[in-house]
Structure 1
């Protein structure tokens, strides 16, 4: 029987590790994780959180013959009190031989269901994970695709930290580039090994508005790049801007082109503004920019 690209895994919390004031790592375990896809990088997964009584409504998600979209439609039709919250995360590490995966959470109180659950989750707590099946011939949920680019720009906020860390740790030694990561406090800067030619800058937000320091860093990067470029080098590319690009919150190139590749992820308005700056002001080919609005300020995730 062919396997679906994504499947549902029953897991429980094996360990919890407080990485910083605002980052918590939960190591999840389960026998079926031996089949969890090992692509890593910015691999997206879905977390199905328990209802207040600790239960998970059965909509066929544990039947391997049922595709994700089929049970997902059933889930959407449930009344609110029976519909388990679903949130999107990126995987931090996969160890199928140990039947473990690591998921890093940004703790921001108990208003959001994922942060509330993670804050109090102890070893043995159940969690349902929807992720890639290594036995499938298809893949999905990965956006990192630098092609033959020799230089990269990576920028994101705390919601993108797991993906950024996994990507940076995988970069080849010859690559050059800049990585900018905005986090709530200085203490939230995590250890991160990068190639010698890749500069990683952690930006502590402190009391400044969300996205302000990240935007300033990317604009400063652009000024340096423009100063180093030949006169009028960008003029031929400015027309590649999409007149409807401000309406798009997520776009990734099928095959990156050019010598520089940009990967941007985080709060949607900040990320779309940065992408617009790269394309319209710096003349970077939009086909060399992957940008993902992971969340929108003032709005809960629409699962």
Structure 2
């Protein structure tokens, strides 16, 4: 075993000799930790789960989502979009709250749950954290409503056209039914059969459009659940900070004690001892 190797019993003896240095550094680190905990501005985190809206009348084989998941993630992280959110709730772009919002905003894709997007933001109060999360969702919702408007307008036009055609065909069928009943006209009977088929197709088209425009297939981008803000702060974390302070204090106190002991031994060694080896 080398002379420089330190046994646990030797370390205990060293700490007994240099306990004042160990304790002084340990207490200094704890005081620094306490000062940091007192001076750190608390932050609350708000979590929101966003369901991306869709238009159910999208052509077959095309994604009905208003905007693909990856593009939604990119949009939420764009500075112009974030500035739009901040201005919408009356915050200046250079305010500390705005800087914290941009720095803390995190998005997480949940592709197999809707898809959904998990959004997290922080603020210096739970009320503002909730407000920022809700404002972010509202801004995204407004953009998606504008994007979906042309497709929805076209779908409603198709539905209105189908309704008009259906009423027209029903009127023609009623007229043909009267003609067949009165005159026993074979040609009118054939026309009536064609009108019945046409009526069936139009009813199916109308019902399909109504179904596709219903809440099950067509809906806005919105919160899946209410915004969640825990009762405790996200930063600073007292358990984590104090744990790091204690561990750091013990380590630095040990380093200080070992360093002081080495310096003491070097001072007490005879001047010629080193060369004698």
**TM-score tier (shorter):** under 0.3
TM-score (norm 2): 0.25
TM-score (norm 1): 0.23
Higher RCO, 1 or 2 (CA under 8 Å, sep at least 6)? 2
Q: Greater Rg, structure 1 or structure 2? A: 2
Quick check: which one's helix share is greater? 2
